[in-house]
Copies of this chain bind each other. A is one copy, B any other.
Amino acid sequence: MKISCKKADLAKGVQIVSKAVPAKSSIKIQECILIEAKGGTIHLTGNDLELGIRTEISGTVVQEGAIAVEAKFFSELVRKLPEGEVVIDTEDDVQATVKCKKVKFDIAVKSGDEYSRIPAIEKKESIILSEFDLKEAVRQTIFSISDSESNKMMTGELFEISKNKLRVASLDGHRISIRNLTLDEEYEERKVIVPGKTLTEIAKIIGNDPDIDIEIYFTKDHILFDLDETVAVSRLIDGDYFDINRMISGDYEIKLEVNKKELQECIDRATLLLKDKTNHPILMDIGEKDVEFKVKTGVGSMNERLEITKEGKEMVIGFNPRYLLDMLRVIDEEKISLYLTNPKAPCVVKDEKKSYLYLVLPVNISKAA
């Protein structure tokens, strides 16, 4: 194989596909980036066997072939090359020469034959979403997936398409995050569970331009993101996702309207008093005209009053402050509405346009007092 391309193009491609290269893999060759030169085009691939990313880079194919290069080393090497034309030349499947201006590196490589390429996906059923919408929806929900593998479904996010609506949702047993997006067209009904890791990595390689469209294709087992020169294919998670509608239905007896920034700063301060891992609740003492927030731990105690607009009764309820904080960080509105019922029922934060809904379960405050 012999190829020639600009350093900047190579560096950009390497950075993109590296997102799918595992740091450690039981299949050693998947810790590599595949470089393929065929029919006049150069492709790079990273693939951890759940998520695979393949990208085309501009350049010249002098001799066709495919080699695998250790991803971490190769990406550092490319980054440190001077700006200019890079020539990668390999006589055999063991060693390659990387030349750029007066710099010459000889590095170990592997044959590309053994490398697991990304699966071939039939591009049939798709939806279209802007970079901005996808990136935001992921950012605003990804924090409430579970990182425990004991319930695989909780490590993914629900993508539910119904007519011209897309619902992106995650839950971890303590809270639910939902973002509702409006699509430009109507599509067939579809419910899939996309691995959280896939969404995290995709969000890193896309921009946030509301005018750039991403085509997302589905098959029974896979999701494919078509980003022009780059294609990302991920396995889906098997199973029927939780019945979210059942979990969030219900009436509320109390409605609080509060300044989001003030609430977030108050709860952020409260987390000072938590030592790592311990879960002391923050108490919300909902009074006539304000809410008093109180935390007491071994480190010290805090209390702070926030002004609120309230409909409904007075009560005291406790929450894990970290869960409230995670939610508040991704809500961009200035004023938010909290809906409550009793000290054992969840708190729901939602807007009138139904663009988002967050649910957080309370904690038992009889233990905390």
Contacts and interface: CB of A to CB of B under 8 A. Distances in A.
Interface in A80-112: 80-82, 102-108
A105 B300 contact: yes
Interface stretch (A150-158, A227-235, A303-311): A303-311
A269 interface: yes
Given A80-B272, A272-B73, A104 B303 contact: yes
A108 B306 CA distance: 25
B102 A305 contact: yes
Contacts of A106: 300-302
Interface string A42-82: 00000000000000000000000000000001001100111
A299 B73 contact: yes
A108 B299 contact: yes
A222 to B, nearest CB: 36
A302 B82 contact: no
A159 B107 CA distance: 46
A61 B272 CA distance: 27
Q: How many monomers of this protein are in the complex?
A: 2
Contacts of A268: 80
Greatest chain B CB density within 10 A among A269, A300, A303, A306 is at A300
A282 to B, nearest CB: 13
B302 A269 contact: no
Contacts of A288: none
A306 B102 CA distance: 8
B299 A104 contact: no
Interface string A314-333: 00000000000000000000
A265 interface: yes
A303 B98 CA distance: 11
Interface string A248-267: 00000000000000000110
A300 B269 contact: no
A105 B301 contact: yes
Contacts of A304: 102-104
A103 B269 contact: yes
A278 to B, nearest CB: 14
Interface string A266-292: 101100100000000000000000000
A107 B77 contact: no
Contacts of A108: 299-300
Interface in A152-183: none
A265 B299 contact: no
Greatest chain B CB density within 10 A among A82, A105, A266, A299 is at A105
Interface string A105-131: 111100000000000000000000000
Interface of A: 73, 76-77, 80-82, 102-108, 265-266, 268-269, 272, 299-306
6 contacts: A76-B272, A77-B272, A81-B269, A103-B269, A106-B302, A107-B299
